[in-house]
């Protein structure tokens, strides 16, 4: 086994030993709506827990961000994350849907679609024994099945002028299908653009960051958000196949340190990815076409780096899949075609949409404040905003077969619970002026080092 970290051995576990499996922080303000089930994971801005909807029994993932917002978490970043995931989520099979934004006395809560298959990190890590016999964690066929889905989702984001900027195995979830379908999540570092994808904020997870993104720390030039996503996609493909990262910070394990990023950058500019000593032996296990594709993705010069269109045209991407993967992929893209047709026929009520985002901005503004409740917090939310498309439809779509979960809502157009969910209770806190705000595959991201990102 090559020297260095592997996905199986490096970093902390997703659930730390002895970590609580029941919420022990008192009332969250969600008790009337959801029953806590279990802890799912911890990110840079908060914890994610599995809950069950008391009315429908649906399982949902809820990201909990404590109030007031942490200083490192910019309010415009939170608002942008929710808006991007709301706009994109129900339009593509590969993006986790945002369902609701809820403000309680203690937390800002983002209610999300639950992907019950866990993360791609865990899926790959569990193939450790497989790698001992075959040489790769996932076979090239299985990796191609996932990678084609993944690229389809990233291309969709770019087509809608959104760069994710923190693509990684930890942020790629799986449903319970066999074989699984991927779901990209955590748009906390995502950024949209209008005319150019050139960006400046130094942000991301070191092992997935491209050379120009790491170099942007000096602020001398920006980077193309699309190109850094493509680089990260190549790193993910290497990790799926070989169970390790092409460039790593073994000597400086803290991902938030300048030293970690410098260690990665020196490897990147020093030699081609396949020549890194700790990975060189494993690269020989890959096919010639696969190595060629990775060479083109992990190109130091971003202007010469391959595009998504060219990746899709590459011979490795177009090799036929085994029957079980081919059938699953065919069904998946047929589902996307039905969804696309449905979306073409929908009409959104722009006034309702504008009102929703006005209320979202208000919710995020309130989440910056310390709460003024005395004693136990309320068991009811302070504010709820429904983020589903059904709430802003001017009329039902003509084809809802692609989204069975929307059929019951669309049948009655707007159900009573949707209307109740978007009624803001008269609350004194709404009237107050805002107060000033004081590895392994489980790789933690570096937080933004700019005061704000416009």
Q: Is residue 361 over pLDDT 80?
A: yes
- Answer whether residue 85 is part of any domain: yes
pLDDT, position 189 = 92
- Please count the other Cβ atoms lying within 10 Å of the Cβ belonging to residue 427: 13
Q: How far apart are CA 306 and CA 296, in angstroms?
A: 6
Q: In this predicted model, which residue has the larger pLDDT, 203 or 101?
A: 101
Task: Examine the domain organization and report whether 329 and 185 are in the same domain.
Answer: yes
Cα distances from 372 to residues 48, 361, 378, in angstroms, run 25, 20, 11
Cα distances from 186 to residues 171, 293, 312, in angstroms, run 6, 27, 25
Q: How far apart are CA 43 and CA 12, in angstroms?
A: 12
**Coil, strand or helix at 348:** strand
Task: Examine the domain organization and report whether 60 and 171 are in the same domain.
Answer: no
Q: 171, 110, 49: which is closest to 441 by C-alpha?
A: 171
The reply to whether omega before 156 is within 30° of 0 (cis) is: no
Q: For residue 288, what is the domain's CATH number?
A: 1.10.510.10
Task: Examine the domain organization and report whether 125 and 86 are in the same domain.
Answer: no
Which residues define the annotated binding site? Answer: 63
Long-range contacts of 261-264 (CB under 8 A, 24+ apart): 261/206, 261/209, 261/214, 261/217, 261/446, 264/206, 264/207, 264/209, 264/214
Q: 47, 73, 70, 63: which is closest to 100 by C-alpha?
A: 63
Q: Are 142 and 421 in contact (CB under 8 A)?
A: no
Domain edge (last residue) among 338, 356, 391: 338
Q: Is residue 44 over pLDDT 60?
A: yes
Task: Examine the domain organization and report whether 255 and 326 are in the same domain.
Answer: yes
Task: Examine the domain organization and report whether 184 and 245 are in the same domain.
Answer: yes
Q: Is residue 323 over pLDDT 90?
A: yes
Task: Examine the domain organization and report whether 140 and 282 are in the same domain.
Answer: yes
Q: 36, 21, 20: which is closest to 379 by C-alpha?
A: 36
- Answer whether residue 56 is part of any domain: yes
Q: Which of 57-71, 259-273, 322-336, 384-398 has the lowest mean pLDDT?
A: 384-398
Q: Is residue 261 over pLDDT 70?
A: yes
The reply to whether 166 belongs to the active site is yes
- Answer whether residue 2 is part of any domain: no
Task: Examine the domain organization and report whether 240 and 333 are in the same domain.
Answer: yes
Which residues define the annotated binding site for ATP? Answer: 63
How confident is residue 453, by pLDDT bands cut at 50, 70 and 90? low
Q: Which tokens sit at 332?
A: 């998946």
pLDDT, position 135 = 87
Q: Are 180 and 94 in contact (CB under 8 A)?
A: no
Cα distances from 381 to residues 33, 38, 234, 344, 429, in angstroms, run 9, 21, 42, 35, 12
Which residue reads 């997935």 in tokens? 208
Cα distances from 233 to residues 128, 150, 154, 210, 264, in angstroms, run 21, 8, 9, 10, 16
**Coil, strand or helix at 406:** helix
pLDDT, position 195 = 67
Task: Examine the domain organization and report whether 271 and 130 are in the same domain.
Answer: yes
Cα distances from 165 to residues 187, 189, 204, 252, in angstroms, run 8, 6, 6, 22
Task: Examine the domain organization and report whether 209 and 267 are in the same domain.
Answer: yes
Q: What is the mean pLDDT of the chain?
A: 83
Q: Is residue 432 over pLDDT 90?
A: no
Given the residues 105, 166, 170, 229, the one annotated as active site: 166
Burial 246-283 (b: 16+ CB within 10 A, else e): bbbbeebeebeeeebbebbbebbeeeebbebebbeebb
- Answer whether residue 18 is part of any domain: no
Q: What is the share, in percent, of the chain residues with pLDDT greater than 90?
A: 61
Question: What are the tens digits of pLDDT across the range 15-35?
Answer: 333 334 444 445 788 988 999
Q: Which of 256-265, 371-380, 387-396, 417-426 has the lowest mean pLDDT?
A: 417-426
Q: Are 234 and 245 in contact (CB under 8 A)?
A: no
Q: Is residue 179 over pLDDT 50?
A: yes
Domain that holds residue 173: 120-338
Task: Examine the domain organization and report whether 270 and 174 are in the same domain.
Answer: yes
Q: Is residue 418 over pLDDT 70?
A: no
How confident is residue 376, by pLDDT bands cut at 50, 70 and 90? low
- Answer whether residue 213 is part of any domain: yes
- Answer whether residue 10 is part of any domain: no
- Answer whether residue 445 is part of any domain: no
Domain edge (last residue) among 308, 338, 368: 338
Q: Which residues contact 227 (CB under 8 A, 6 or more apart)?
A: 197, 210, 212, 302, 305
Task: Examine the domain organization and report whether 125 and 267 are in the same domain.
Answer: yes
By the 10 Å C-beta count (0-12 exposed, 13-18 middle, 19+ buried), 114 is classed as: buried
Q: For residue 83, what is the domain's CATH number?
A: 3.30.200.20
How confident is residue 448, by pLDDT bands cut at 50, 70 and 90? low
pLDDT, position 408 = 43
Q: Which of 34-43, 100-109, 359-368 has the lowest mean pLDDT?
A: 34-43
Q: Does pTM surpass 0.75?
A: yes
- Answer whether residue 446 is part of any domain: no
Task: Examine the domain organization and report whether 331 and 356 are in the same domain.
Answer: no
Q: How many separate domains does the chain show?
A: 2
Mean pLDDT of 158-180: 96
């Amino acid at each position: 086994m090559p020297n260095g970290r592997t996905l199986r051995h490096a970093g902390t576990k997703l659930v730390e030993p002895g970590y609580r499996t029941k919420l022990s922080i008192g009332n969250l303000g969600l008790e009337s709506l959801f029953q806590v089930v279990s802890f799912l994971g911890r990110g840079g801005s908060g914890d994610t827990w599995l809950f069950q909807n008391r009315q429908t029994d649906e399982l949902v993932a809820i990201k909990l961000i404590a109030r007031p917002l942490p200083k490192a978490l910019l309010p415009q970043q939170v608002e942008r994350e929710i808006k991007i995931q709301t706009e994109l989520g129900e339009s593509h099979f590969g993006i986790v849907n945002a369902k609701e934004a809820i403000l309680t006395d203690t937390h800002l809560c983002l209610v999300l679609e639950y992907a019950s298959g866990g993360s791609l990190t865990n899926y790959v890590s569990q193939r450790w024994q497989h790698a001992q016999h075959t040489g790769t964690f996932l076979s090239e066929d299985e990796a191609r099945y996932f990678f084609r889905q993944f690229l389809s989702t990233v291309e969709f984001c770019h087509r809608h002028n959104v760069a994710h900027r923190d693509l990684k195995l930890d942020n790629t979830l799986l449903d319970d299908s066999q074989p699984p379908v991927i779901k990209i999540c955590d748009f906390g570092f995502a950024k949209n653009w209008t005319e150019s994808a050139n960006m400046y904020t130094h942000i991301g997870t070191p092992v997935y960051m491209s050379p120009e993104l790491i170099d942007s720390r000096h602020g001398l030039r920006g980077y193309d958000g699309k190109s850094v996503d493509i680089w990260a996609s190549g790193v993910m493909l290497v990790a799926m196949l070989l169970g390790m990262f092409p460039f790593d910070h073994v000597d400086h394990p803290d991902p938030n340190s300048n030293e970690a990023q410098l260690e990665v950058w020196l490897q990147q500019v020093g030699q081609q990815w396949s020549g890194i000593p700790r990975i060189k032996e494993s690269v020989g296990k890959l096919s010639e076409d696969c190595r060629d594709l990775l060479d083109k993705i992990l190109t130091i010069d971003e202007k010469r780096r391959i595009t998504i269109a060219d990746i899709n045209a590459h011979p490795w991407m177009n090799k036929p899949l085994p029957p079980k993967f081919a059938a699953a992929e065919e069904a998946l893209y047929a589902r996307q075609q039905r969804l696309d047709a449905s979306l073409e026929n929908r009409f959104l009520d722009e006034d309702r949409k504008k009102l929703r985002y006005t209320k979202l901005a208000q919710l995020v503004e309130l989440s910056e404040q310390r709460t003024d409740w005395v004693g136990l917090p309320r068991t009811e939310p302070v504010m709820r905003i429904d983020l589903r498309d059904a709430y802003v439809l001017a009329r039902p779509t003509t084809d809802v077969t692609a989204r069975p979960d929307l059929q019951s809502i669309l049948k009655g157009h707007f159900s009573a619970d949707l209307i109740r969910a978007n009624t803001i209770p008269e609350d004194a806190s709404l009237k107050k002026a805002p107060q000033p705000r004081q590895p392994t595959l489980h790789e933690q991201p570096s937080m933004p080092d700019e005061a704000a990102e416009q």
